[in-house]
Amino acid sequence: MIPEYQEIMLPLLELADDEEEHRFRDAVDELAKDFNLTEEQRNKLLPSGTDKIFRNRVGWAKTYLKKAGLLEYPERGYFKITERGKEVLERDPDKIDYKFLKKFEGFKEFVTPSKGSEEPTEEIETSSLDDQTPEELIEIGYKTLTDNLAEELLEKIRDSSPEFFEKLVVDLLVKMGYGGSIKEAGEAIGKVGDEGIDGVIKEDFLGLDIIYLQAKRWQNTVPRPEVQKFAGALQGKNAKKGVFITTSSFSKNARRYADKIDSKLILINGEKLANLMIKHDVGVSLSSTYIVKDVDSDYFLE
C-alpha cells in the first residue's frame, strides 16, 4: 500500500539527518525502498495522470516540513535539514503529522487562509477531514495548492535578475489589460528612472489616462518613507494614479499613508503579486482540470 503523505514526513526528515544536501529525486527512490513499494506502486499515477502518487506525496511531505522550518532548500531540487529539524529528531517523536507541525508558526501561517489583507482570518481545521464535505475538501485542497504555488513564484522572482522582473511586470500588466501591447508597455516601463518613478503605462489601449509605476524586488518590508517618496514623485508630475509593486510587504504605516493621500496609490505586495500572476496566467501553466457536475433537474421534467 502506498503510504499517505503524513506517514512519509518522519522518514523523510530522518533521511536528511546526516546534514547533507539531498536531491529530491534520489530521496523518492530511497524512501520507496524503505517502504518496500513494488514497481507498480512506485509508478501508479494520480487520477489526473500528471504525476506519480508516491512522488507527489513525498513532495507534499517535503513542502510541509519546509513550511514548519524543519527542512530548507539550499538550491533548486535539493533539500537539507535545519537546526530546528535536528532538534525535533532529538526528541525521538513517534510520528510527525499535520497536527504535530501546527506547533510551528511558519506552518500555522501557511495553513491559515487570508483574504489578501495580510490579516489572518479564522483557520480552517484541515486535520479533521471526516468533518468536511467533499466541496469543502476541494476548496481546502485548492487553497493549499495555490498558496504553495504563490510561494514558489515569489522565490523564483527573488532569484531572478532586475531585467527579468521588469519583463514580468510588463507581462502581468498587459495581461491585466493595461499598457496596450507588450511592446508599448515594455518601452514605457523602466525608461523614465527619475524622481522615484520606474515607468509610465497606459491605463487603456487608447492612452486616455496613464499610471505611474514603481517596482521593487525587495526582501525587507517597504517602509512609509519609500511610499512617501513615490507619492511625492507623483505630485511632482501632477499625476493622480500610481502603482507600487514589491516582492516583499508594506508596513502598516505605509499602507495607512497610501490610503489617506489624494492620489490613487495602489500597493501590491508579494503575496498579491503572486496571486495576480496565477489569476492572469503569468509564469504558470495548467497542471490539471477537474470538472464537478450536478444533476440537471430540468432535463428530467416530463
Per-residue pLDDT tens over the stretch 69-80? 999 999 888 999
CA 261/CA 9 separation, integer angstroms: 49
Largest CA distance in the chain: 71
pLDDT for the residue numbered 296: 84
Residue type, 184: E
pLDDT in tens, 178-222: 877 777 776 666 555 545 667 888 887 776 788 888 888 888 999
Residue 149 is which amino acid? Answer: L
Assign residue 36 a region (left: φ > 0; alpha: ψ between -120 and 50; beta: otherwise).
Answer: left
Q: Which residue has the cell 510541509?
A: 64
Distance CA 123, CA 263 (A): 36
Q: What is the pLDDT of residue 289?
A: 79
Model confidence band, residue 153 (pLDDT cutoffs 50, 70, 90): very high
User: Residue 243: enclosing H or E segment and its boundaries?
Assistant: strand 241-246
The H or E element spanning position 127 is none
Q: What is the mean pLDDT of residues 75-93?
A: 94
Mean pLDDT (whole number) for 15-27: 96
Q: Residue ranges of the domains in the chain?
A: 5-159, 162-279
Tell me which CATH code domain 162-279 carries. 3.40.1350.10
pLDDT of residue 196: 60
Q: Are both 5-159 and 162-279 of the same fold?
A: no
Architecture of domain 5-159: Orthogonal Bundle (1.10)
Residue 133: what pLDDT?
A: 64
Please give the helix or strand (H or E) that residue 268 lies within, else none: strand 264-268
